[in-house]
Amino acid sequence: MYVAIMGYGTVGSGVAEVLKKNHAHIVKKSLQDSLELKYILDLRTFPGDPNESLVTDDFNKILSDPEVKIVVETMGGLKPAYDFVLACLNAGKSVVTSNKELVAAKGIELLEAAKANNVNFLFEASVGGGIPIIRPIIQCLSANKITEVAGILNGTTNYILTRMFSDGADFEDALADAQELGYAERDPSADVDGIDACRKICILADLCFGKEVKPDSFSTEGIRDITKTDVKYAEAWGGVIKLVASAKAVNGGRNVSVCVSPALISGESQLACVSGVFNAILVRGNALGDAVFYGRGAGKLPTASAVVADVIDCARHLGRRKPFGWVKSPEGYVLPDDEFKGKFFVRCDSSFEEIADTFGKVEYINIEDPPENEKAFITPMITKGDLNKKCETLREVKSVIRVTDY
Amino acid sequence: MYVAIMGYGTVGSGVAEVLKKNHAHIVKKSLQDSLELKYILDLRTFPGDPNESLVTDDFNKILSDPEVKIVVETMGGLKPAYDFVLACLNAGKSVVTSNKELVAAKGIELLEAAKANNVNFLFEASVGGGIPIIRPIIQCLSANKITEVAGILNGTTNYILTRMFSDGADFEDALADAQELGYAERDPSADVDGIDACRKICILADLCFGKEVKPDSFSTEGIRDITKTDVKYAEAWGGVIKLVASAKAVNGGRNVSVCVSPALISGESQLACVSGVFNAILVRGNALGDAVFYGRGAGKLPTASAVVADVIDCARHLGRRKPFGWVKSPEGYVLPDDEFKGKFFVRCDSSFEEIADTFGKVEYINIEDPPENEKAFITPMITKGDLNKKCETLREVKSVIRVTDY
């Protein structure tokens, strides 16, 4: 059986490496006589690369070769990835991708095309890199109604925040270090502004709740505004700040409340221990309670290992469908941001009396040498809309950060 | 489609509860028109129980009913569970079990019987309760050669050790509390002496490395001997003590080194954060690196949710096999305990000179007010056989605890 890879960058070359490194093991697991790489699609050439002879810039070679049963898409982006993947599915080939942007934006269309052609479209590597999360959600937790899914889905921001806590670094310095170490891009926006985490939580919400959540249907907030003072308060409270992406079923499952933003997490939480570039995903089920999946959320071989696991699964299921997916969501399915409900950490210069008048009883947090006049506290449960209104009446609001209950 | 449950104890009644609670959801996930509970096998009667009318003490009713396609075994123990499960498989019924003793002792025989009859034998709930771990090992990590699997597999001992660290309780008091809370049995031996963890690591090793590991083929050590002084040293070192069960491929995969014993874990480890009755399993793959799966390792509904996920999987695969399993291992496959290799924490009354003469350079750990003359240190990498010989030359050895590298 033959496989093709589209896109010979970090993940694509990792896939080729894993296929070679664990070849006999993979063939056996695939229940095939053989499993060989036949083409690598890339516009670049790779002189001296062990797979040089497989590289082609002609997509039609892959598309028209009936021996290629499984195509790996590791190009990234929507164009031409979407057209290529759709064409492969329509040509009767199963497709495996690590491309979260593609799955978040076009998952429904591609799963439908896979169904129509009796092939599979799998994307375990699109969320959480090497961490097994998509298959556990579909299969292992199938006896549960999932009520919430949340996670630390971006390694770059988690590295930066970990540095801010462990070394007292400020955001800019920690970002510069992350860039030097290759954890952050020169333009770090997709990571630090939460765009990457946003795409991933959409995919998780799609799978957990069965209805599509579009990346632009809720607010996404990054970590640029987190300061050393916020870090001090979080430590005094006994917790940490993480970039948390979450989706929660509300109103009996008729709606979903989705949020990507920094969040205070209690030091007791399993998510609080997730350091550096690691990722973790928490799934809350109505029978199971909380389960957490932890591991390398990025990186060449970890991500490639998830891609190749999907390739093996496609090989085992040639001619048979793994039935899963989600449907278009009705208008108003994603709750407006104003209706997001939780506790919030607030820093402002109002007096104790003013704060009590506005919020009732709050939980104050004290640090050594706080900024003059400043009070920091955690509100009772409140909607974001109400919170925003109340904050308008406070003096000099410097931070508003949500607080998780996991 | 009809299901029967054998054994209406905690887990069995939880299975009935989950089947009812999430009924519509489960039927849909099963890709069946219906999925109903038809019999509950138990010698007891349950007057007033909502499922009272389904209870029977006649196993042959289940065995001879062709409508029952899936049988859940939640009786525990080997007798009569083994005979009943084997008979069900031979009658063409798929079987799901939560019985770790059965799978650890008789997994090969039952998987063979399932194969011969073209049905499935699944046991996700036998390790880690509700935590999805068996399916991820079989499917999600299939592109990896797994090099090691290790975990905190027993909630009772983890609760006791957590109490010893968080409250300074000693073993006896923490055990008494665990018994009062229902986390430990009146006879706590299966938990505190490591027997339960031993069965579970056998199942994990079977799956990860493909060859059978028998529960009596390596040494199993419980937590009875852990003292408050050990706890103090672990804290001073910056770590915790957990009951760790581990299996590691050695000698290029020709052997496996298995161990169940207390272990020092660095505070940085993801396993160090696993508190109370929670469980966690770490899987190390040659492409993935480390992944950790965390959640409730016991309890009625969490365990039942794993059982029902297997029921759903059986329902989706009626007439089709999920191919996995392991084979009998050759003589000498499990490494003798003396060849287990690692670093060890040692407490003794020898002088610094004697310790240096015996071990070379060691890492000393200091606490306030140590017992008189006592030294505590961590050895270099050494086999357990060599360590034991060296310890014979030391004065008053009070503790020897292995140190993990994860």
Nearest to A291 by CA among B295, B76, B78, B25: B295
Tokens 């365990």 -> residue = B303
Paired tokens of A60: 């039609």
Report how far residue A58's alpha carbon sits from residue A43's, in angstroms, rounded to the nearest whole number. Answer: 8
Please report which confidence band the pLDDT of residue B203 belongs to, taking 50, 70 and 90 as the band edges: very high
Q: For position A171, what pLDDT does the model report?
A: 97
Could you report the per-residue pLDDT of A24-81, keeping only the tens digit for each?
Answer: 999 999 999 999 999 999 999 999 999 999 999 999 999 999 999 999 999 999 999 9
What pLDDT, on the 0 to 100 scale, is given for residue B291?
96
One-letter amino acid identity for A279? N
Please state the rounded mean pLDDT for residues B350-360.
Answer: 97
- State the average pLDDT over residues B230-246: 98
Q: Write down the H helix ranges in A167-281.
A: 171-180, 189-192, 195-209, 228-237
Q: What is the CATH number of domain B134-296?
A: 3.30.360.10
CB B40 within 8 A of CB B68: no
Residue closest to B29 by CA, chosen among B303, B307, B304, B309: B309
Inform me whether the pLDDT recorded for A323 exceeds 90. Answer: no
The fold for domain A339-403 equals Alpha-Beta Plaits (3.30.70)
pLDDT at B360: 97
Alpha helices in A349-395 (DSSP H): 352-359, 384-392
- Partner-chain contact A288 B273, CB within 8 Å: no
Mean pLDDT computed over B130-147? 93
Cross-strand partners of B344: B402
In order of A352, A369, A371, A381, A392, the CA distances from A374 in angstroms are 10, 10, 6, 22, 16
Above 90 in pLDDT, residue B220?
yes
Q: Which ipTM did the prediction report?
A: 0.94
Whether B275 and A286 lie within 8 Å, measured CB to CB: no
State mean pLDDT over A130-146. 93
Question: Which among A22, A135, A287 has CB closest to B301?
Answer: A287
SS3 per-residue string spanning chain B: CEEEEECCCHHHHHHHHHHHHCHHHHHHHHCCCCCEEEEEECCCCCCCCCCHHHEECCHHHHHCCCCEEEEEECCCCCCCHHHHHHHHHHCCCEEEECCHHHHHHHHHHHHHHHHHCCCCEECHHHCCCCCCCHHHHHHHCCCCCEEEEEEECCHHHHHHHHHHHHCCCCHHHHHHHHHHCCCCCCCCHHHHCCHHHHHHHHHHHHHHHCECCCCCCCCECCCCCCCHHHHHHHHHHCEEEEEEEEEEEEHHHCEEEEEEEEEEEECCCHHHHCCCCEEEEEEEECCCEEEEEEEECCCHHHHHHHHHHHHHHHHHCCCCCCCCCCECCCCCCECCHHHCEEEEEEEECCCHHHHHHHHCCCEECCCCCCCCCCEEEECCCEEHHHHHHHHHCCCCCCEEEEECCC
Residue A60's CB: how many other CB atoms inside 10 A?
9
Tens-place pLDDT, residues B258-268: 999 999 999 98
Shortest Cα distance from A98 to chain B (angstroms)?
A: 14
Q: Which among B139, B307, B312 has the least Cβ separation from residue A309?
A: B139
Say how far apart CA A164 and CA B197 lie, in whole Å: 38
Question: Would you tell me which CATH number, out of the four given (3.40.50.720, 3.30.43.10, 3.30.420.10, 1.10.150.20), belongs to the domain B2-129+300-316?
Answer: 3.40.50.720
pLDDT value at residue A223: 98
Query: Would residue A20 show up in a list of annotated catalytic residues for this protein?
Result: no
Does position B323 have pLDDT exceeding 90, yes or no? no
Tokens of A88: 């492969």
pLDDT of A126 above 90? yes
SS3 category, A238: coil
Sign of CA dihedral A362, A366, A370, A372: positive
Distance to chain B for A28, nearest Cα, Å: 10
Instruction: Measure the CA–CA gap between B148 and B55, rounded to whole angstroms.
Output: 43
Question: Are A145 and B25 inside 8 Å of each other by CB?
Answer: yes
Domain boundaries, chain A: 2-129+300-316, 134-296, 339-403
> In this predicted model, what pLDDT tens digit does every residue of A269-310 receive, in sequence order?
999 999 999 999 999 999 999 999 999 998 899 999 999 999
Rounded CA-CA distance B39/B54 in Å is 5
Instruction: Measure the CA–CA gap between A28 and A35, rounded to whole angstroms.
Output: 9
Share of chain A above pLDDT 90, in %: 97
Please give the model's pTM, rounded to 2 decimal places: 0.95
At B13, which amino acid appears? S
Which carries the bigger pLDDT value, residue B140 or residue A126?
A126
Q: State the amino acid at position B27 in one-letter form.
A: V
Extract the tokens encoding A54. 């497989």
Min Cα separation B210/chain A (Å):
12
Q: What is the pLDDT of residues B88-119, one digit of tens each?
A: 999 999 999 999 999 999 999 999 999 999 99
Give the three-class secondary structure for A345: strand
The reply to whether residue A309 touches residue B141, judged by beta carbons under 8 angstroms, is yes
| Predicted local distance difference test score (pLDDT) of residue A298 | 87
Give the active site residue among B69, B93, B200, B343: B200
Predicted pLDDT at A370: 94
What pLDDT is recorded for position A352? Answer: 97
Between the alpha carbon of residue B328 and those of residues A280, B59, B120, B205, the distances in Å are: 36, 31, 20, 12
Q: Which fold has domain B338-403?
A: Alpha-Beta Plaits (3.30.70)
pLDDT digits over A231-262, tens only? 999 999 999 999 999 999 999 999 999 999 99
Q: Do A22 and B308 lie within an 8 Å CB cutoff?
A: no
Residue of A nearest to B294 (CA): A292
> Is residue A278 a contact partner of residue A156, using CB atoms and an 8 Å limit?
no
Question: Which residues of A10-123 form beta strands (DSSP E)?
Answer: 36-41, 55-56, 68-73, 94-97, 121-122
Query: To the nearest whole angstrom, how far is the Cα of A305 from the nearest Cα of chain B?
Result: 5
Of the residues A93, A100, A200, A232, only one is catalytic, namely A200
Percent of chain B with pLDDT over 70: 100
pLDDT at residue A358, rounded to an integer? 97
Cross-chain residue pair A313–B270, CB shorter than 8 Å: no
pLDDT of residue A367: 97
Size of interface A-B (CB pairs under 8 A): 174
Per residue in B371-405, pLDDT (tens digit) is: 999 999 999 999 999 999 999 999 999 999 999 99
Looking at residues A137-142, what average pLDDT do you find? Answer: 91
